[in-house]
Amino acid sequence: MSRKFLTGIDLNNNLLINPVLNNTHASANTAGSLYYSGSKLVFGTGSATATVATMADTVTVGSTAITIGSSATTIAGLTSVTSTTFVGALTGNASTATTLATARNINGVSFNGSADITVTAAAGTLSGGTLASGVTASSLTSVGTLTGLTMGGNIAMASNKITGLGTPTADSDAATKLYVDNIAAGVNVHEAVNYATTGALGTTGNLVAGSVTTTYANGTSGVGATITIAVTGGVWTSVTIDGQSLSVGNRVLIKDQATTLQNGIYTVTTVPVLSGTGNAVFTRATDQDASSDINAGDLVYTIAGSVNGGDGFVQTVTGVTTGSTGIVWTQFSGAGVVPLATVTTPGIASFPDSQFNVSGAGAVSIDNLGTLAGTFATSGANNLTLTTTAATNVTLPTTGTLATLTGTEALTGKTYNGLTVTTSTGTLTITNAKTLSVSNTLTFTGTDSSSVAFGAGGTVLYSGGALGTPSSGTLTNATGLPVATGISGLGTGVPAALAVAVGSAGAFVTNGGALGTPSGGTLTNATGLPVSTGISGLGTNVATALGLAVGTLGGVIVLNGALGTPSSGTLTNATGLPISTGVSGLGTGVATFLATPSSANLRAALTDEDGTGALIFAGGNIGAATATTATAGTNTTQVATTAFVTAAVGSGLKKYTATNASLTPSSGVVTWTVTAATHGIGAIGSIIPSLKEVSSGSTVEPDFVINDTTGDVTVSWNASATVTAGTYRLTLIG
């Protein structure tokens, strides 16, 4: 419980250790009171209160720092601040300061703040952010970096250059020479490669090992796509491309892969060790990996290489999809390369003077123009002249037309080779009193109803005379042509046969016509042909057999037909054949048994049977034995009756059952012996043994040896491995 002091406490200059100020007090305005209230330390003045400090404030008096709360902006009564260093900004006016402690130079003029100075821009340089409005003329040689400069007039460069321009994007942007050259050439220039392949990777000069496999992975639509070359036989014997050693990060143009979709610009990712078996890995360069980065006209320069060093290559395939479209690189520049100009191949075509030349007078000479696509036209009264010094051909396309624009033009005194009239209404007209002379062959061809028409009174002349015998041709229709003399190449007797009426002797056989008597030939179909006299070359009695009705004695056997009686042959299939009369050579009683397969009929058919009665098969029951009954003490093959067995074994039968212990074979045979003392049946020889497989219950047949004197039973059989205990169950009855 707290104690209240009604009078003051004099500590006599001693310390008050670990005091706790309560937030209860008699009066907030008690002069000299000090108390804790609302997380503040409050000092009472008698008429008001003053906050000494809050919990977040720090007041240090007599040290090097005074920290003021965030809401305080002034310190009343502060007369001076002495410090050599200030941390942070010091704002406001120095009301009593008149000069700088240390003067400073401004553009060569000393300034200490005591008076105004005039700064004159030195010739050649000006430092600062802006030019004053009064500066109207100046020679600036270096202005550092200008940001957002807007010109109000033209800039005269005095034959100097503007360098360092970026790639233009807006219509009003300045363009670099490279940008203009690229647009004019139709190419997209890529960063140069260090070297380029001269063949497929893995071939001579392009990474060589005993044998390699190439694996391409397309990454994400080409981004991050890789080619991996793995050694499958031997080691790396060369780790260079075009004679250049590989380094990680090198750019390489792979342009000769058999699978052309693998071609492109790559960077070296993994370099294998010479004489090692590690993989070589290349990754598509970021400037040519996605489909949008690979375009017809992509141009790259090769820096080094025994074959490709200094050469340029251009990609010529449009619409490339990375990973599925073949990519083709063609040499663009280099020693001995002068590509021909075509309008279908993207890229720059250069022309030597011998191919394309413009004379001083403006005459254009073109040699080997290549392919001209589109329309080549002249306007006005101009001529298109083809001048050659050797035999020259003007070849027109098969679907093109050589025509004048309007009117009719005369082609005079010319010789035409292969003149064809192709339009549906086209006509080749020879006017009156004119002659069409053909020195070789005039051929009329067509798939429609083509004809050669001659005017009334006109004739067809050959060498000025009547129609003779053409050397060759196909005659499709003729009337009155004498067969005997008008057709050549017929075989002997053919003209004479053609002259004989159908149906007469010696005439040709016609489809649906009467039959003559040919001297020879192959007859494939005939009705009413007499077999006996009309067919020669048949074997003896064949004609007679063919003349008999099917099923008649001696007739021919036909599929599904009735059966005659052949003199001999092999019967492989027959239905309804009577066994008793239809099959010869059977033993006595066999036919009867086949017809009625009973035990009695089988005994009758057998020649060495013994006894009578029904037959017994495996799994069947033994019936009454009619053979001589076996007597005791004999070992015969006779069947024992039930009475015999009962008399022999009596009523005191004993049974012993056991499973085998583990049996180890000796010389490939296992032996299991059960003594008389073990089975307890006694020392008798009339023990009946049986052996079964435990898992299946099947009876097995080993060798049983029963000692008639001791009664021991020995079981043995062939085995190649140890027989597991419990595999077999032995049963003895006696």
The pLDDT-based confidence of 393 (bands split at 50, 70, 90) is low
Instruction: Provide the Cα torsion 200, 204, 206, 210; round to 10°.
Output: 90
Confidence (pLDDT) at 542 = 78
In a domain, 168, yes or no: no
In a domain, 338, yes or no: no
> Do 680 and 557 sit in the same domain of this protein?
no
CB 121 within 8 A of CB 135: yes
In a domain, 191, yes or no: yes
Phi, psi at residue 360, to the nearest 5°?
-60, -30
Confidence (pLDDT) at 347 = 44
Tokens of 364: 């254009």
Give the residue-averaged pLDDT of 160-169: 83
Give the residue-averaged pLDDT of 151-159: 83
CB 252 within 8 A of CB 288: no
> Do 688 and 561 sit in the same domain of this protein?
no
Decide if pLDDT at 355 tops 90.
no
By C-alpha distance, which of 359, 357, 358, 337 is closest to 348?
Answer: 337
Confidence (pLDDT) at 586 = 82
Give the residue-averaged pLDDT of 718-728: 88
Instruction: Identify the top-confidence range among 55-59, 120-124, 459-463, 611-615.
Output: 611-615
CB 679 within 8 A of CB 730: no
The pLDDT-based confidence of 192 (bands split at 50, 70, 90) is very high
Confidence (pLDDT) at 306 = 92
pLDDT tens digits, 303-314? 999 999 989 999
In a domain, 96, yes or no: no
In a domain, 649, yes or no: no
The structural domain count of the chain equals 4
> Do 46 and 188 sit in the same domain of this protein?
no
The pLDDT-based confidence of 1 (bands split at 50, 70, 90) is very low
Instruction: Identify the top-confidence range among 37-51, 501-515, 594-608.
Output: 594-608
Which segment of 88-97, 219-228, 269-278 scores lowest on mean pLDDT? 88-97
* pLDDT > 90: percent of the chain: 20
Specify the higher pLDDT residue, 304 or 386: 304
Tokens of 707: 């000692």
- How many residues comprise the chain? 734
In a domain, 286, yes or no: yes
Q: What is the pTM of this model?
A: 0.30
Instruction: Identify the top-confidence range among 121-125, 341-345, 432-436.
Output: 432-436
Domain with 719, as residue range(s), is 655-733
> Do 328 and 189 sit in the same domain of this protein?
yes
How many other C-beta atoms lie within 10 A of the C-beta of residue 448? 6
d(CA 372, CA 380): 22
Decide if pLDDT at 9 tops 80.
no
> Do 201 and 314 sit in the same domain of this protein?
yes
> Do 548 and 673 sit in the same domain of this protein?
no
d(CA 281, CA 270): 5
**Mean pLDDT of the chain, nearest integer:** 73
In a domain, 345, yes or no: no
In a domain, 102, yes or no: no
> Do 194 and 323 sit in the same domain of this protein?
yes
> Do 554 and 686 sit in the same domain of this protein?
no
Confidence (pLDDT) at 585 = 79
Q: Which of 63, 85, 110 is the C-terminal boundary of a domain?
A: 63
Phi, psi at residue 223, to the nearest 5°?
-70, 125
HEC string of 227-280?
EEEEEEEEEEEEEEECCEECCCCCEEEECCCCCHHHCEEEEEEECCCCCCCCCE
Which segment of 77-91, 450-464, 709-723 scores lowest on mean pLDDT? 450-464
Confidence (pLDDT) at 466 = 47
Specify the higher pLDDT residue, 528 or 266: 266
pLDDT tens digits, 555-588? 666 555 555 566 566 677 777 777 777 777 788 8
How, if at all, do strands 124-125 and 140-142 pair? parallel
